[in-house]
Structure 1
Amino acid sequence: MASEDLIELKFRLADGTDIGPSKYSPATTVASLKGKILAQWPKEKENGPKTINDVKLINAGKILENNRTLAESRVPVGELPGGVITMHVVVRPPLSDKISDKLHNDSSEKACCSCSIL
């Protein structure tokens, strides 16, 4: 594949730091991009993603779907000669045990109901 066909991407984290830039084929899936982000995630950052499902990639205001390729996600191929496309990375924070326990306990308390007929 010619180098002109490759898409140069960098991934912007919430704190403004970047991963990349690197070049990818238009046939690269979003899931594989997320895997590369996990592998390159800065070790010093707290609350990093554990799986690709914890990561959302946003390009041009759209959340990219895991099963789609860059070409199918309408990433502008060749529209920016020599330009780098920045995708934003959003990490779903993991629920702490206290929060998940509280949600479970609250749901069991609210399971009852009462009715008044006047």
Structure 2
Amino acid sequence: MAAAGQELLELKFRLSDGSDIGPYKYAPATTIATLKESIIAQWPQEKENGPKSVNDMKLINAGKVLENNKTLSESRVPVGELPGGVITMHVVVRPPSTDKGGEKHPSDSSKHNKCSCSIL
């Protein structure tokens, strides 16, 4: 339960292209799944390959992948350590699976090999 006077965390979410969603304020008792739902709702319409569900993305804070069922405080997000500071979390979206059959053709994958990593 959120205590009266408890500090809200100001978070922004960095997307793979370097753009941000936020910053917005959240209570330390907010679950990671709730954050992901908020990201999906605010995903820029012009961006392709947006997440469809909370399982389509990962949130990373300080090099640690955050679990859906944990709260911000349980995930050891620095509550109150950054007075007035904005905490940046990285959003990694799982690419949509176009191959429903599960078969991979090695000759096809070499032609369409794409990699997208952001190291900031």
Instruction: State the TM-score, normalizing by the size of structure 1.
Output: 0.82
Residue equivalent to 1:26: 28
Residue equivalent to 1:35: 37
Flag as ranges the 4+ runs of structure 1 deviating above 4 A.
none
Question: Alpha carbon RMSD of aligned pairs, Å?
Answer: 1.8
Residue equivalent to 2:100: 100
| Alpha-carbon offset, residue 104 of structure 1 | 7.4
1:38 partner letter = I
- Tell me whether 1:81 sits opposite 2:83 in the alignment: yes
Segments of 5+ residues of structure 2 without an aligned counterpart are 107-120
Q: What's the CA shift string for 1:69-113, capped at 9, x where partnerless?
A: 0000000011011100000000000111xx33361799xxxxxxx
1:40 partner letter = Q
- Size of the alignment, in residue pairs? 103
Instruction: State the TM-score, normalizing by the size of structure 2.
Output: 0.81
Distance of 1:74 and 1:6 partners within structure 2: 14
